[in-house]
A and B are shown apart, each in its own frame.
Chain A
Amino acid sequence: MLIDGFTVAAQIVNFFILVALMKVFLYRPILKAMADRERKIAERSAATDAERQKADSELAAYRKRNQSWDAELQALQTQAKKEVDGAKGEMLKEAHQDVALLKAKWQSSIAHQKVAFLKSLKKRVTQQVYATARRALSDLANRDLEMQITAVFIEGLERLDQKKWKLIGDIQQAKGNQILIESAFALPAEQSNKIDALLRAHLPEGIVVDYKTEANLICGIALKVPGHKITWDLNDYLRTLEAEISDVLQVETQTFEKPLSVS
């Protein structure tokens, strides 16, 4: 017989015992471990999702904040640039004004210095020319020149018209008969006599002619009555020269002053 009743019964019992053993030692612990793991994974996944959502929200907040900061920074930069440009413009304007002022002051100072220098130069040049000419003429004033000068003076007296002689005569009578002849050198007797004769010929009688040596007259000779004077003197030439030099330098000074004037 292929089927043994006792074996069948024993195998049924064995099988259900095995079912119970497997349930205790295999299915229950394995399923529990799998369920626990799935639960933990689900929890971790949920926690991860929550963290990710939190991170996403924080990221969004940070991005928004960054954008806000960027915009603020941009605005600040624009404002700062505007202020800097304004300040730069102001400073440049002030600097230009300062430079212009300093330049004007400097040019004014230069102009003043130049004018002062030219004035000083004019004075010195004039004085020097005058002194040099005076010295040269003094050095050149020898006897022949003095005589020549006196001769020219006498010629001048001789060319005086009657009106002037009359004027001199009137003055001489009104103020006393004193006539003073000043010269830079002592007149020779011949020429003084000639002058005396000439004066006495044209003037009323009673005149007194005095002769005086005056160093200030350069190679010159002068006839003086109160209020009037007839003279031939290099001083006149020199004064004329001085006046002409002064005029020329004055023109030069004005030429320099004009472009340097501050507008």
Chain B
Amino acid sequence: MNITQITPDQVIYWQWGGFAVNATLAYTWGVMLLLTLGSWLITRRLSSELRFSRWQNLLEILVGGIRDQIQEVSSQKPEAYLPFIGTIFIFIAMSNLLAVVPGFIPPTASLSTTTALALAVFVSVPFFGISKQGLGAYLKNYVEPSVFMLPFNVMGEFSRTLALAVRLFGNAMSGVKIGAILLALAPLFFPVVMQVLGLLTGMIQAYIFAILALVYITSATRAHHEKETAPLEKGEQKNG
């Protein structure tokens, strides 16, 4: 097993200077094209009536489910987080589902992709936190409950980003690789079972990644949210 079999980043299709179009980028574009084209084809003739197409129904269930999940976890209005969290889930889920297609290398099996997604989450946490609470309030969270916790909070930010990236990479990569190894050892039955298991773990990983990203973002915005709602709750109790 060489390095090209561990990460698709090393499978170079085209290179010009420092720019190399590897398998990770190529399959990522493929997934992007598939998602965008599929969405465009379905949503170009949307119906707001009571009768609508099955594809629209599928997308409405998917988007509605993600929206409800965000609302349930964050207890906030889901519209602001839906594009980011929803895209993480759909992209990872689609990449992992397509792993059953022979010859398809899921981009999530690349540590570069998972790192990129984790970095996106790493960036989006302060982005949503600052946009919700403001810069000062957000930075104040790092010295809570005391200033001595600052190093630990910063380390926590980095470590959880690393954990996100490595968790997804390990699961996606291992599923593919274990399938390949079992195919060599027992080519008839076990690979199919592993593929089915891979589909399940792929969906679970997509869900876990999206939920963890949401939890991190929500934890950065919740302090502000709690400050907003606390007086209301007191007022409600007085009224009640």
A10 and B117 CA atoms in complex are apart in Å by: 11
B87 touches A34 (CB 8 A): no
Contact A33 B115 (CB under 8 A): no
Taking a contact as CB atoms under 8 Å apart, the answer to whether B119 and A8 are in contact is yes
Q: Is the CB of A3 within 8 A of B111?
A: yes
A27 touches B82 (CB 8 A): yes
**A75 proximal to B (CB < 8 A):** no
Q: How many residues of B are in contact with the other chain, CB < 8 A?
A: 48
Could you tell me which residues of chain A, from 13 to 41, have a CB within 8 Å of some CB in chain B?
Answer: 14-23, 25-27, 29-34, 36-37, 40-41
In the complex, are the beta carbons of A19 and B84 less than 8 A apart?
A: yes
CB closest residue in chain B, given A35: B48
Instruction: Decide yes or no whether B40 CB sits under 8 A from chain A.
Output: yes
What are 19 sample pairs from A and B whose C-beta atoms fall under 8 A apart? A2-B6, A3-B9, A7-B9, A7-B110, A8-B116, A8-B119, A11-B24, A11-B107, A11-B112, A19-B83, A22-B83, A26-B86, A27-B86, A30-B56, A32-B48, A34-B63, A34-B64, A40-B49, A41-B50
Residues of B within 8 A of A (CB): 6-7, 9, 18-20, 22, 24-25, 28-29, 32, 35-36, 39-40, 43, 46-50, 52, 56, 59-60, 63-64, 67, 79, 82-84, 86-88, 90-91, 107, 110-113, 115-117, 119-120
Top 7 closest A-B pairs, CB basis?
A: A11-B116, A36-B48, A7-B112, A25-B39, A29-B43, A26-B39, A23-B83
CB pair A33–B36 under 8 Å, yes or no, is: no
Considering residues B46, B49, B79, which has the most beta carbons from chain A within 10 angstroms of its beta carbon?
B46
Size range of the chain A interface in the assembly = 20 to 34
Q: Are B86 and A22 in contact (CB under 8 A)?
A: yes
A25 near B22 with CB under 8 A, answer no
A6 touches B63 (CB 8 A): no
Q: How far is the CB of A31 from chain B (nearest CB, A)?
A: 7
User: Shortest distance in angstroms between A42's beta carbon and chain B's nearest beta carbon?
Assistant: 12
Question: Which one of A11, A23, A25, A33 lies within 8 Å of B113 (CB-CB)?
Answer: A11
- Complex Cα gap A35–B79 (Å): 12
Q: CB distance A30 to B32 under 8 Å?
A: no
A14 and B32 contact, CB distance less than 8 A: yes
Q: Which residues of B contact A41 (CB under 8 A)?
A: 50
Q: Report chain B residues within 8 Å CB of A14.
A: 25, 28-29, 32, 116
Contact of B48 with A11 in the complex, beta carbons under 8 Å: no
The answer on a CB contact under 8 Å between B116 and A12 is yes
Contact A30 B9 (CB under 8 A): no
Is B35 touching A3 in the complex (CB atoms < 8 A)? no
Asked if residues A30 and B43 are in contact (CB atoms below 8 Å), the reply is yes
Determine if A4 is an interface residue (Cβ-Cβ < 8 Å). yes
B115-A3 in contact (CB<8A): yes
> Inside 8 A of A19's CB, which chain B residues have their CB?
83-84, 87
A119 CB to nearest chain B CB (Å): 109
List chain B residues, Cβ under 8 A from A12: 116, 119-120
* B43 x A25 contact (CB < 8 A): yes
User: In the docked arrangement, what's the CA distance between A197 and B21, Å?
Assistant: 204
- Shortest distance between the CB of B84 and any CB in chain A (Å): 6
Q: How far is the CB of B80 from chain A (nearest CB, A)?
A: 11
Q: Which residue of A lies closest to B166 (CB)?
A: A2
Residues of B within 8 A of A9 (CB): 116
Residues of chain A with a CB closer than 8 A to B112's CB: 2-4, 7-8, 11
Minimum Cβ distance to chain B for residue A7 (Å) = 4
Q: How far is the CB of A222 from chain B (nearest CB, A)?
A: 140
B196 to chain A, nearest CB (A): 27
Query: What 18 new A-B contacts, CB under 8 Å, besides A14-B25, A15-B120?
Result: A3-B9, A6-B18, A7-B9, A7-B24, A7-B25, A7-B110, A7-B116, A15-B88, A15-B91, A15-B116, A18-B35, A19-B83, A23-B83, A26-B43, A33-B43, A33-B56, A34-B60, A37-B48
Set of chain B residues within 8 Å of A40, measured between Cβ atoms:
48-50
Known: A8-B116, A30-B46, A37-B48. A21 touches B56 (CB 8 A): no
Specify the chain A residue showing the minimal Cβ separation from B165.
A3
